[in-house]
Structure 1
Amino acid sequence: MLLMLSSPHAHGGDTIRVMMLTVILALLPAAAVSVYLFGWLALLLILLCMAASLATEAVCLKLMGKPLSTLLDNSAALTGLLLALTLPALTPWWMAVLGSIFAIVLGKQIYGGIGYNIFNPALSARVILLISFPLQMTSWLVPMSAATPPVDLYDLSTCLTLFFAGPDALKSSLDAISMASPLGHVKTEWTLGVPVEGALAAYNYSYLNAFLGFETGSIGETSVLALLIGGVFLLARHSITWHIPFSYLATVALLAALFNAIDPAHFAPPMFHLFAGGLMLCAFFMATDPVSSPVTPLGQIVFGVGCGVLTWSIRSFGGYPEGAMFSVLLMNCAVPLIDHYCRPRVYGHDGRRV
């Protein structure tokens, strides 16, 4: 008698700990660039978010009577790192701690822990912080790549003062050390009647600078090159598949190209959208979260297309300059529906209702 067993028939060797560590390694190029651009502020943010996430996870595990050994799965550390990379360099220390608590408690443990969350924990916390503290979360620090940096971000004492006491402690106004992001500048100028091309020219925008990372934004989203290196690493390791990143980026590029051809004064070109904001970070590291994304290849493509449509729509018509974060969270809500309609046919089933 032939015994038929369901797959998988072999273990690939990866564990949750290895998977999380792989993503952390893939984020190291973006983290390194953030430290180069924003100095000690970026490093302080990263270390504090990771430490606060681990501490919060330990408290939650203790309260729920679960073993503290779960901390060794690297998921809390990854959540802290991802959260830090989505924050502006001028984020105060207490907001970094508060965001880490939100990410672990409201984004993860309240659903039952790893594997049960319906939203990406880091993105959930980032959106909560943005809605609660819009001024601090939209204050973009001028990076050290600027011709005349207003503050020496490589000086530890200066950065400690900025981090724990805020910009006013240095007797400098926020406007003196910050500037609008490219997405924010284009949207603001459009409301004033300035076309996209004129807004980019006034901003002295450069695609090369945006690709390398020499623009304002959250500390981990500025360098497209660093994020692509990390994304390719994940693809090569088979930690993620191409379906979500490709469909996500292709959808944004296609919509941007189409509407830019129709009305170039209003709609930014595709290259600008691909290089701006948190699109690359979300496409490779947030939207591909295996817990909060669809399980089938077709479902992942549908998910990516939905993220792309929402990202471009919010950027073009919404009140917020950036739409990548909101798009991923909104599509997280649709994952059960996507999985329901994109289920693969059961092996040996002819598709007839029984």
Structure 2
Amino acid sequence: MLAKVEEVVLQDKLIVSSSPHIRSNESVKRIMLDVVIALTPAIIGSVYLFGLNALKLILISVASSVLSEALIQKLFKRPITITDFSAAITGILIAFNLPASAPWWLPVIGSAFAIIVVKQLFGGLGANFMNPALAARAMLMTSWPVHMTNYTGTRPDVVTSATPLSIMKYGTGAELPTLRDMFIGNIPGVIGETSALLLLIGAAYLIIRKVIDWKIPVFYIGTTFIMLLLLGVEPKLLPYHILGGGLILGAFYMATDYSSSPVTPLGRIIFAVGAGVLTAIIRIKGAYPEGVSYSILLMNVATPLIEKFTKPRVFGKVK
């Protein structure tokens, strides 16, 4: 989630988006540092839950993202911006979307793809039309599905296990974890999405600091909840859908990316509702138990169209 980036980071030209155009005086570095602070509880929690392999993947992913950014900016003769923390955040989020059992080279490839292809080739920070970390996850899932779904349980039982969403989707016969374990993160899954508690602590910090707008995560999660009910999910299983998988991570840290989500308040609500509808449909009707990453990416692509129909009318302009 590269939230609240100043959309002025384009060096070659100024692209005017829908109003409002007033921006905070905070620097990109300050905003990104807030995001790093918000992610810190989940980073610590992931190491506690999954062991040092989680820390290794996070460090490799961050280093690969920063190095990729520096190399491609040097190649394009652009200013080197690795000190603004944006590449580091992309690296953290890519690692958060990997299972603790992932091989070391997986975050290297994912980070290079996210930074070079999705971010820098489209102009750099503020110009990417989709979330780089989610695009990397989708690419890695398509290319190496076995490595991307080799989920392990938390310590000390670090063995391959089914996630709660997989248990509900495929009826593996395994017992669902308690809601307490779901909330604190004592469940199988990818590194950064298991502990709802730690993710929500960081999200509260971002909302208090006004780094992210509450509308997207609240409408996203709320719409997913309602759609799951409409699709026939038993009410007792709804908390597992909300706390399990990447919904909280995606809603607060990825869907709120300013460069790939609408600027207008109404546009943000439409974006979030669309992501919620798609997430529920993919989870219940699709072949895959999770739908957060693909839902957000699809709404990223739809963002220009959403802004076209939600931008404020210019005073005095006649249609």
Post-superposition CA distance 1:92-120 (Å, at most 9, x none) = 00111111111101120110111110010
Residues 256 and 269 in structure 1, CA contact (< 8 A), matched pair in contact too? no
Match of residue 276, structure 1, among 208, 231, 244: 244
- Name the residue aligned to 2:258: 290
- Name the residue aligned to 2:216: 244
- Name the residue aligned to 2:16: none
* Matched letter for residue 333 of structure 1: V
* Matched letter for residue 321 of structure 1: P
CA distance in 2, matches of 1:323, 1:302: 18
CA distance in 1, matches of 2:118, 2:154: 30
CA distance in 2, matches of 1:210, 1:239: 27
CA distance in 1, matches of 2:20, 2:300: 27
5+ residue gaps in structure 1? 1-5, 151-176, 193-198
- Name the residue aligned to 2:51: 39
| Distance apart, 1:345 and its partner CA | 2.8
CA distance in 1, matches of 2:20, 2:146: 51
- Name the residue aligned to 2:120: 109
- Name the residue aligned to 1:13: 25
| Distance apart, 1:246 and its partner CA | 0.7
Residues 256 and 268 in structure 1, CA contact (< 8 A), matched pair in contact too? no
| Distance apart, 1:268 and its partner CA | 7.1
* Matched letter for residue 15 of structure 1: S
- Name the residue aligned to 2:104: 93
CA distance in 1, matches of 2:160, 2:21: 52
* Matched letter for residue 285 of structure 1: Y
Post-superposition CA distance 1:188-244 (Å, at most 9, x none) = 11xx8xxxxxx5xx4242111001100011110000111111111111000011110
Match of residue 206, structure 2, among 215, 234, 245: 234
| Distance apart, 1:329 and its partner CA | 0.2
Larger radius of gyration: 1
Residues 231 and 284 in structure 2, CA contact (< 8 A), matched pair in contact too? no
Q: How does 1:1-354 map to 2 (within 5 A)?
A: 12-68=24-80, 70-144=81-155, 149-150=157-158, 177-189=159-171, 202-260=174-232, 264=234, 269-346=237-314, 349-350=315-316, 352-353=318-319
CA distance in 1, matches of 2:78, 2:227: 47
TM-score for the superposition, normalised by structure 1: 0.81
Residues 33 and 85 in structure 2, CA contact (< 8 A), matched pair in contact too? yes
* Matched letter for residue 41 of structure 1: N
| Distance apart, 1:257 and its partner CA | 2.9
Query: Percent identity, aligned pairs only?
Result: 46
* Matched letter for residue 123 of structure 1: L
* Matched letter for residue 92 of structure 1: P
5+ residue gaps in structure 2? 1-18
* Matched letter for residue 30 of structure 1: A
CA distance in 1, matches of 2:229, 2:176: 22
CA distance in 2, matches of 1:209, 1:239: 29
Residues 268, 188 of structure 1: alpha-carbon distance in 2 compared, 3 angstrom cutoff: farther
| Distance apart, 1:338 and its partner CA | 0.4
Post-superposition CA distance 1:157-216 (Å, at most 9, x none) = xxxxxxxxxxxxxxxxxxxx2111111122111xx8xxxxxx5xx424211100110001
Secondary structure in 1 matching 2:258: coil
* Matched letter for residue 44 of structure 2: A
| Distance apart, 1:274 and its partner CA | 0.6
CA distance in 2, matches of 1:14, 1:341: 29
Secondary structure in 2 matching 1:205: coil
CA distance in 1, matches of 2:274, 2:28: 27
User: How well do the aligned residues superpose, as a CA RMSD in angstroms?
Assistant: 1.8
Secondary structure in 2 matching 1:178: coil
Post-superposition CA distance 1:237-258 (Å, at most 9, x none) = 0001111001001001112233
* Matched letter for residue 45 of structure 2: V
CA distance in 1, matches of 2:265, 2:65: 32
CA distance in 2, matches of 1:268, 1:316: 15
* Matched letter for residue 253 of structure 1: F
Residues 15, 227 of structure 1: alpha-carbon distance in 2 compared, 3 angstrom cutoff: same
| Distance apart, 1:142 and its partner CA | 1.4
| Distance apart, 1:299 and its partner CA | 0.4
